[in-house]
Amino acid sequence: MSINYNEKIPNNVNLSGDRRLQRALERWQPKFLNWWDELGPEKSTDFDVYLRTAISVEKDGWAHFDYVKMPDYRWGIFLTPSNSDRTIDFGIHKGQPAWQEVPGEYRSELRRLIVTQGDTEPASVEQQRHLGKTCPSLYDLRNLFQINVEEGRHLWAMVYLLQAYFGRDGRDEAEAMLERHSGDADKPRILEAFNEETPDWLSYFMFTYFTDRDGKFQLGSLAESGFDPLARSCRFMLTEEAHHMFVGETGVGRIVQRACDLMNEYKTENSGPKSDVRKYGGIDLQTIQKYLNFHFSISVDLFGQELSTNAATYFNTGIKGRFGESKIDDDHLLHDSSYSVLELQGQRIINCDAPALNAVNERLRDDYIEDCNLGVRRWNKIIADSGHNFSLKLPHRAFHRGIGQFAEIQTDPEGNIISQTEWDRRHSDWLPTHEDQQYIQSLMHPVTEPGKIAGWIAPPKSKINRHPFKFEFVRFN
């Protein structure tokens, strides 16, 4: 199924066959473009950016590369092809045909999930809007813009579902997506991680590693939904998500590499903030660890409460599954099973068995944490291969939490509960301080000559569509 690019809004959902919907989306399109102009990548309108655009939804060759001015990017509506005999894989409707329309009794839950998902997409573009001004290389600038246009497309994907399946409420929600803004005191984005600032490229790479990875797991769960149009939208979004996490993993890896290279060049072992790494313009490993602690902990919050009746309802009614649902070997009903969860009991964190149905948020968080660890291991391999004795580590899941039962307590990165006084005394060892942030900010100067790179990060090993690092990925005009 290829995509019709002759229409105002490229799509593979036969939009021209539904004039009402087409008109509604065409009315939303200029509002989206206005939003992009005001809150998308700053002062980037005239740049020619070497971008990938989806031209089919098939696995091979869905991406076409060319120079594009970002406001002319063909944001469109692409769902993976439908499988007409798909059935629901879990919950009380297991075995029944997947829904092609929204079941009336689940309308508000589905709307809420789609709105929450959709809200994160433009939020991330808003968070990243100033980064172009301080890019470490043209390669990195291009990747930033690639991610930004794709997050814009993810918003389109959710707005399509709202407008196509939720009538008037859906149209109102589509408007509201452009009215809430990241960090806005009156109308903030829905989830807290999307109201934080992304003021520098270390934060940005951590965000795309940890927070885009929440996207992978949430989209993976929604891709199991009994509501087929949602499932198909999320499947296609997941193909784009892989690149976002790749940018994060390799970005952090290259900063780690540079720190190690500097330590080797200047023969210093100490990797802390007072070390030579900073003196020579790199980012020391201890500071990288602090940023990791921050971004991991706020991303872990995105999975919600450990035990959640909302999550139980979503699962039981077939609207949101578990990650890789069809590959899990159990009854897919979870009425009689239990799941092991860390719980706060008094001043201790202990392992408890909880009803599996109530623990689906926590199970997803477990899957997420395991996946986060893979990249940390690769970063540590870079350090070890460079001959240094230091390991980055994910903090304990109870560390620095704002959502769930651990929000009530303070712990150290190992998960030992500590008093507020001790937290106040020690948190600057664990989370970025104002001074750390100022140091990172002091490194942020744009490097925009093809083939050149900033001093705090190593050049990439990978190519983009076979083009090497020295390729002119962005032309400024």
Site string (356-375) toward ligand BYC, x via CB under 6 A: -----x--------------
**Choice from 120, 286, 317, 410 touching ligand BYC (CB under 6 A):** 120
Per-residue x/- mask for ligand BYC, residues 196 to 235, rule CB under 6 A?
---------------xx-xx--x-----------------
Beta-bridge partner residues of 475: 48
244 binds Fe ion, rule: CB under 5 A = yes
Which of 79, 203, 242 lies closest to 153 in space, CA to CA? 79
Q: How many residues bind ligand BYC (CB under 6 A)?
A: 24
What value, to the nearest 5°, has the Cα angle with vertex 65 and ends 59 and 68?
A: 135
Choosing from 126, 151, 196, 228, the residue that interacts with ligand BYC (CB under 6 A) is 151
- Beta carbons of 207 and 198 less than 8 angstroms apart: yes
In angstroms, give the least distance from the CB of 273 to ligand BYC.
28
Residue 297 within binding range of ligand BYC, rule CB under 6 A: no
Among residues 13, 101, 122, 7, the alpha carbon closest in space to that of 57 is found at 13
Residue nearest to ligand BYC (CB): 304
- Piece in contact with Fe ion (CB under 5 A), picked from 81-89, 160-168, 242-250, 408-416: 242-250
Q: Is 321 in the site for ligand BYC (CB under 6 A)?
A: no
What does the chain come to in residues? Answer: 477
DSSP string, 230-251: HHHHHHHHHHHHHHHHHHHHHH
Other CB atoms within a 10 A radius of the CB of residue 384 amount to: 13
Q: Which residue's CB is nearer to Fe ion, number 189 or number 258?
A: 189
User: 246 vs 423, which CB is nearer to Fe ion?
Assistant: 246
Among 45, 116, 270, 380, binds ligand BYC (CB under 6 A): 116
Degrees to nearest 5, angle at CA 109 with 105 and 115: 140
Answer for which of 22, 44, 124, 225 binds ligand BYC (CB under 6 A) is 124
Binding marks (x or -) toward Fe ion, 124..163, rule CB under 5 A? Answer: ---------------------------x--x---------
Calculate ∠ Cα 342-347-352, nearest 5°: 25
Give the integer Cα–Cα distance in Å for 156 and 180: 16
Task: Tell me: does residue 363 bind Fe ion (CB under 5 A).
Answer: no
Of the residues 88, 110, 113, 245, which one makes contact with ligand BYC according to CB under 6 A = 113
Q: Does 308 bind ligand BYC (CB under 6 A)?
A: yes
Specify the pairing of strand 417-418 against strand 410-411. antiparallel
Of the candidates 301, 367, 412, 436, which one interacts with ligand BYC according to CB under 6 A?
Answer: 301
170 backbone dihedrals φ, ψ, rounded to 5°: -65, -40
Q: Residue 328, class by beta-carbon neighbours within 10 Å (0-12 exposed, 13-18 middle, 19+ buried)?
A: middle
In the complex, minimum distance from the CB of residue 265 to ligand BYC, in angstroms, rounded to a whole number: 35
**Looking at 192, 331, 353, 414, which residue binds ligand BYC (CB under 6 A)?**
192
**181: phi then psi, degrees, rounded to nearest 5:** -135, 150
Smallest separation, CB 429 to ligand BYC (Å): 26
DSSP letters spanning 324-366: TGGGS-S-SS-SS-EEEEEEEETTEEEEEEEEGGGGHHHHHHH
**Residues that bind ligand BYC in the complex, under the rule CB under 6 A:** 113, 116-117, 120-121, 124, 151, 191-192, 211-212, 214-215, 218, 301-305, 308, 310-311, 361, 403
The residues of the shown chain that bind Fe ion, judged by CB under 5 A, are 121, 151, 154, 212, 215, 241, 244
